Structure 1
């Protein structure tokens, strides 16, 4: 056979070898998928493994999305391996997921909400070498801690902002839960700054039920409400969209929600929960470690603040609100408690 006749055969053999190499490389790179690796997890056997658990789904504007941000933040700041598990909305799911992750080597658990307190209290006694932390809630064992913060003091000044922009002197509140209603300082702020204002409160009993939130919002509007403090995580998207149709002012929650309606969102109460995650990890890697029991975070830790006031406020109004906050922080301003 001539060299010319053998060229096609050589080309074919060479092509098959190249294809085989490419297939091998693709299979190697995708082995994480083939063998069931969690895309939310970064693994290194030499690293401390931190598990973050949330009962919520991970989606835009949700409470669960803040757990995801916390995960990204601590991965960026610390040499650790993390895994995030969401939608643990029953005690059974919480228990099952936590014990499975303990078997996989997780040494620190962060429960994204007080709902993990009961499960962690049970497991803390069972696994003394694992540390359990919840955002808010309770804990009683030496390997259990709570990181909490009370952003409600800023509600005094949300009330001041709302009173400045309400023409009808009818102001509404959309609460996520009855628990929030019992502890709100918004009404105390209104009693101080604008005692003539009437407050109307509706409880959605959900963080993300936009349909029900809008139905209750319509009931508030029928009472001539023209400013609504909406504490709804995910349901605020629906509330703000409806506010745009009705032309009423909104106070946002968790994020700066002015991007949805800059001419209608007065301000927002920000929860920078990822800073709480940073505080937890700083303590975990400190010489003394995490202090068991309740660890109180403050505004200085960066976990909460007011978003910038909207364009509907004059410079004089903004200056007045800022001065009132400064006076309060300096202990020069007191509000009557219920």
Structure 2
């Protein structure tokens, strides 16, 4: 009897020891797995990227395209992105660049050519940081410019204008004096309607709707009846006035027909946010970023021509499509 009791006690103690041993093994196994997970996630450390724009981040603004670019690259690449907006003086640009470098940014992107000079100075003294601007210039090995020439679709924006002008007077509202020339638009217009004249006004800003309207009224007083408006947020004001004055507009950046279907002939679309995807694809490639200038094309998805508006007849639309097809096949060239 005594022996049986002792055996039960020994069995009970053995069971407790076994449970404790199994529990210890389970806990240690979980700890090892957790440590492995932590170690694994540590290897996916995100690259710090800074984007700087001189514009506001608002609907239809140039700065909003920087924000869209940020969202795209955060979704597609292992990056931690900081966006600075309204950095519109050399002093602010330099301060922001220094802050970004102190925070560990390995890539700094300027959303526009206006950052070129400041980046050139900063690149010289920060050789381990990559500096990229959208448009502009690059002088040092750690500088790159990404740009694109939507000229091939501007030929056919010129054709659209040629088909709808009655006065043979076409206006262009440019945001800046120095950039965004339009030789292909001019060439397309001259090819299809050599008797037409172009009148240019410079707004001096990408989003000054008041100034754009004032200059548009000057164009209208000269007999202009089609306007290629190369603005961002100021295009809304331009299209509103076009509806009142019953003239036509060629939109810019996105398909702006929703603002005035009967008055927007087409739009020269620029998906600038796709530029950021191209930059990061190169940055994370085996070769890395090139120095100097990289020219993007239609295959990168950065530009296209919006559908032609209901103002055109089916015959006119078919004619324009046939001309575009001829150009793609090399059967059509412009002087």
For normalisation by structure 1, the TM-score amounts to 0.83
Which secondary structure state, in structure 2, belongs to the residue aligned with residue 179 of structure 1?
Answer: coil
Task: Indicate the residue corresponding to 2:148 in structure 1.
Answer: 149
8 Å CA contact retained: 2:45, 2:78: no
Task: Indicate the residue corresponding to 1:117 in structure 2.
Answer: 116
State the shift of 1:247 in Å.
Answer: 1.1
* Aligned mates of 2:174, 2:52 — CA distance in 1: 24
Task: Indicate the residue corresponding to 2:9 in structure 1.
Answer: none
Task: Indicate the residue corresponding to 1:288 in structure 2.
Answer: 287
Query: How many residue pairs get matched?
Result: 293
Task: Indicate the residue corresponding to 2:8 in structure 1.
Answer: none
* Aligned mates of 2:296, 2:166 — CA distance in 1: 37
Task: Indicate the residue corresponding to 2:329 in structure 1.
Answer: 330
Q: Does residue 73 in structure 1 map to residue 69 in structure 2?
A: no
Q: Any residues of structure 2 matched to 1:92-171 within 5 Å, and which?
A: 92-171=91-170
* Aligned mates of 1:261, 1:180 — CA distance in 2: 27
State the shift of 1:147 in Å.
Answer: 0.8
CA spacing shift, 1:269–1:183, aligned 2, 3 Å: closer
State the shift of 1:329 in Å.
Answer: 2.9
* Aligned mates of 2:202, 2:113 — CA distance in 1: 20
Which secondary structure state, in structure 2, belongs to the residue aligned with residue 212 of structure 1?
Answer: helix
Note the residue ranges of structure 2 that are not aligned, 5 or more in a row: 1-42
Q: Does residue 237 in structure 1 map to residue 232 in structure 2?
A: no
Q: Any residues of structure 2 matched to 1:179-194 within 5 Å, and which?
A: 179-180=178-179, 182-194=181-193
Task: Indicate the residue corresponding to 2:10 in structure 1.
Answer: none
Which secondary structure state, in structure 2, belongs to the residue aligned with residue 147 of structure 1?
Answer: strand
Q: Any residues of structure 2 matched to 1:285-324 within 5 Å, and which?
A: 285-324=284-323
Per mean C-alpha deviation after superposition, the further-off stretch among 292-301 and 171-180 is 171-180
* Aligned mates of 2:104, 2:198 — CA distance in 1: 51
State the shift of 1:83 in Å.
Answer: 0.6
Which secondary structure state, in structure 2, belongs to the residue aligned with residue 174 of structure 1?
Answer: strand
* Aligned mates of 2:121, 2:243 — CA distance in 1: 47
* Aligned mates of 1:183, 1:315 — CA distance in 2: 28
State the shift of 1:111 in Å.
Answer: 0.8
State the shift of 1:327 in Å.
Answer: 2.2
* Aligned mates of 1:274, 1:57 — CA distance in 2: 16
| 1:291-311 deviation per Cα after TM superposition (whole angstroms, max 9, x unaligned) | 111111111111011111111
Q: State which structure, 1 or 2, has the greater radius of gyration over its C-alpha atoms.
A: 2
Which secondary structure state, in structure 2, belongs to the residue aligned with residue 145 of structure 1?
Answer: strand
Which secondary structure state, in structure 1, belongs to the residue aligned with residue 234 of structure 2?
Answer: helix
* Aligned mates of 2:185, 2:193 — CA distance in 1: 11
State the shift of 1:262 in Å.
Answer: 1.0
* Aligned mates of 2:290, 2:177 — CA distance in 1: 31
Note the residue ranges of structure 1 that are not aligned, 5 or more in a row: 1-43
Task: Indicate the residue corresponding to 1:263 in structure 2.
Answer: 262
* Aligned mates of 1:72, 1:182 — CA distance in 2: 29
CA spacing shift, 1:180–1:130, aligned 2, 3 Å: closer
Task: Indicate the residue corresponding to 2:195 in structure 1.
Answer: 196
CA spacing shift, 1:218–1:97, aligned 2, 3 Å: same
For normalisation by structure 2, the TM-score amounts to 0.84
